[in-house]
Amino acid sequence: MHPVNVAPVTTPEPVLVRAGALTKHFGDFEAVRGIDVEVRRGEAFGFLGPNGAGKSSTMRMISCTSPRTGGELSVLGLDPDTDGPRIRARLGVVPQTDNLDTELTVRQNLHTYGRYFGLSRSTVREKAAELLEFAQLTDRADHEVEPLSGGMKRRLTIARSLINDPDLLLLDEPTTGLDPQARHLLWERLFRLKQSGVTLIITTHYMDEAEQLCDRLVVMDGGRIAAEGSPSELINRYSTREVLELRFTPGTQDAVVPSVVDLAERVEVLPDRLLLYTKDGEGALAAAQARDVRPLSSLVRRSTLEDVFLHLTGRTLVD
C-alpha cells in the first residue's frame, strides 16, 4: 500500500481556563452573573467592557485570590477553591493598580517577588537581569521605585509578573492611566510575550487595546457576557463595514434623524452626533447632503469594537 497523505492532525491546545455559570456576589451586589468562558493555551483572550462590568471580579477569581460564589471554574486544570497556591505558583498577575514596594529598588522588587515562588537567589538574580532588559529598566535597576513614571512602574509590574515564567499571564487594565507613548511601548512588550507563546488574559475598557492584543474576546456588561468572538468577527456580526459620523450642536441632532434614517442600516443617536451604520459611508454622506442635512462636521471611518459595544448595550465604553 502506498502511504496516504493525511493532513496533519492538530490536537487542540489544552484549555487553561474554563468557567461555567460562574458567579460572584458581594453581599447583595451581583458583580458576575453567570458567565461561560474557555481560554486555550497560546491565546490572547480579552474581557472588554466598561468599568463595573465584572471584569476585575472575574480576573480575581481566575487569579485564585477571590473565591467564587457559584458555578464552575478550573484554572490550569485545577480548582481554585482547593488548589489556590498550586495554581498561583504558575500564574503571572498584573493588577489594576500597581502594588510595587515603592521603598525598595527596581531590582529588589523582582528579587523579593521571585523568592515567593520558591526560586533560589541565583535564579532570581539571573531572571531579574533578563526581565530588566525586557522592561527597559536596566539603567534604573538600583533606583528606588517611588519616583519612577507611571509607564515605568507598569513595565516593572509586568516584569515582576513574569519572574516565574508563568503558564498564564493575567493583565487587569494594563494601560489605564498611561500616556499614548507609554501605552504603545507596553503593547509592543505584550505583543512580544504573545509571540513567544505566553497565554494572555486581558481586561480593558479600551477598544483599541482589545483590537491590538486580543485574538478572541468577550464583551461584558452588567456582569454578563454580551457577545464573544475575534475582534473582526464581532465587528462583522454586530456592525457594518463603515460608519458615518455626523456632528451637530448638542440638542439639534434628534431632529435630523427622520431625514437620514433610511440612508443606513442602523442609526445611533449620541449627545453630540449621529452614527450611521452603512457599507458605504461616502455614499450615505452624499445622499444626506443632497437632502440638505448640514452637520457641523462629518467623518467616515471603519467600524470598531466601540460600535459593537454601542450596538450590544446602547451605551459607549468610555464616558
Binding site for another protein (CB under 8 A): 14, 16, 26, 41, 63-67, 74, 76-79, 84-86, 88-91, 93, 95, 97-105, 108, 111-113, 115-119, 123, 160, 164-167
Residue closer to another protein, measured from CB, 23 or 304: 23
* C-alpha 238 chain-centroid distance: 19
Residue closer to another protein, measured from CB, 13 or 133: 13
CB of 224 to another protein, least distance (A): 21
CB of 139 to another protein, least distance (A): 20
Residue closer to another protein, measured from CB, 160 or 205: 160
Exposure string for 35-52, b = 16+ CB within 10 A, e = fewer: bebebbeebbbbbbbbee
Residue closer to another protein, measured from CB, 100 or 270: 100
CB of 132 to another protein, least distance (A): 17
**Beta partners for residue 23, in sequence order:** 33, 70
Contact yes or no for 279/239 (Cβ under 8 A): no
CB of 62 to another protein, least distance (A): 11
Cell of residue 96, nine digits: 489594576
Cell of residue 215, nine digits: 485574538
Residue closer to another protein, measured from CB, 63 or 175: 63
CB of 262 to another protein, least distance (A): 52
